[in-house]
Amino acid sequence: MNIDVIDIHPHVISTDTVRYPRAPLGGHQSTWSNDRPVGTEQLIVEQDRAGVKKAALVQASTCYGHDNSYVADAVNAHPERFAGVFSCDILAPDACDTMAHWMSKGLTGMRLFTTGSTMPGQAGWLDDPRSFPAWGMAAEKGLPVCLQMTAQGIPQIMKVLDRFPALRVILDHLARPVQEDGPPYAGADSLWGLAQYPNVYLKVTERNLVGARTGEATPETFFGRLVADFGASRIAWGSNYPASERPLAELVALAQETLAFLPETDREWIFSRTAQALYPTLANRS
């Protein structure tokens, strides 16, 4: 079986700072977006080299904050290649209007940034009642929501999921679970607890692939349990390129090698079919 590769977590950074000014969350730009920006056309070159067919571009919040103009322009320039994920302040009184604006620009996913290189720690607003209109709109519109968060935020997101059972959320980097303790991976108990929610999806990135070879962890025991608990149809691969320092081709190879023990049908879900279920435009044949 020839498995297509779809990436649900690359970022694009324009070198045109006049048309696309920097406005990073946290007040200072991430080192990676400043030192190794990759624009839309360069990303396509790297994807062709790495064998990546399509991608869901994720807003670079540590460079552009909630101004999603560059992602929107990239998607509209290459609709056969890209879907787009915008960032938004869901506590703002006009959050639903903002969401509608970016959806009208062709973006079909939302990302919430509650921790990261420019915002250490875990923000505590995920279940703030002010966010409920935005969560409700995402659930109603079928808008999948990526969560850049740590395991500390899982109890809050459980409350959100209990209130909005139709909401689909995607945990960036698996919400950064502890892996080095090895099976049964008690340090990741909060992650395993999310398996009961059918609309929780998992995004596997370099962080998790490397972590599965750290300490007592192995790819077979960690990802074997991940697939057993959640099902491959709720797991998708994302490169995090170029925030991850490795070339895109190496990131693809790392994922393919680490998950090679899984059955082909599971790998097909992880590398393409789950992405197409979350972002249907990626299923369109060009």
Q: What pLDDT is stored for residue 115 in this prediction?
A: 64
* Cβ contacts of 154-163, under 8 Å, gap ≥ 24: 154/190, 154/191, 154/193, 154/194, 155/190, 156/124, 156/126, 156/127, 157/126, 157/127, 157/194, 158/193, 158/194, 158/197, 159/127, 160/126, 160/127, 160/131, 160/135, 161/197, 161/199, 161/200, 163/132, 163/135
For the stretch 124-142, pLDDT in tens is 779 999 999 999 999 999 9
- What is the band of 2 on the pLDDT scale with cuts at 50, 70, 90? confident
* Angstrom distances, CA of residue 96 to CA of 25, 103, 110: 20, 10, 12
Q: What pLDDT is stored for residue 260 in this prediction?
A: 97
Rounded to 5 degrees, what are φ and ψ at 234?
-115, 15
- What is the band of 122 on the pLDDT scale with cuts at 50, 70, 90? low
Q: What pLDDT is stored for residue 118 in this prediction?
A: 54
For the stretch 77-99, pLDDT in tens is 999 999 999 999 999 999 999 99
Q: What pLDDT is stored for residue 114 in this prediction?
A: 76
% of the chain exceeding 90 in pLDDT: 88
Judged by average pLDDT, the poorest of 53-67, 112-126, 163-177 is 112-126
Q: What pLDDT is stored for residue 25 in this prediction?
A: 83
Pick one of 3.20.20.140, 3.40.640.10, 3.90.1150.10, 3.10.20.30 as the CATH number of 5-283. 3.20.20.140
Angle subtended by helix axes 40-50 and 69-77, to nearest 10: 60
Task: Show me where the domains of the chain are located.
Answer: 5-283
For the stretch 189-200, pLDDT in tens is 999 999 999 999
Say yes or no to pLDDT of 286 above 70: no
Q: What pLDDT is stored for residue 157 in this prediction?
A: 93
For the stretch 150-162, pLDDT in tens is 888 899 999 999 9
For the stretch 3-44, pLDDT in tens is 999 999 999 999 999 999 999 987 889 999 999 999 999 999
Say yes or no to pLDDT of 255 above 60: yes
- What is the band of 240 on the pLDDT scale with cuts at 50, 70, 90? very high
For the stretch 204-236, pLDDT in tens is 999 999 999 999 999 999 999 999 999 999 999
For the stretch 41-53, pLDDT in tens is 999 999 999 999 9
DSSP string, 95-139: HHHHHHHHHHTT--EEEEE-SBTTB-S--S-TT-GGGHHHHHHHH
Phi-psi map region of 182: left, alpha, beta (phi>0 left; psi -120 to 50 alpha) = left
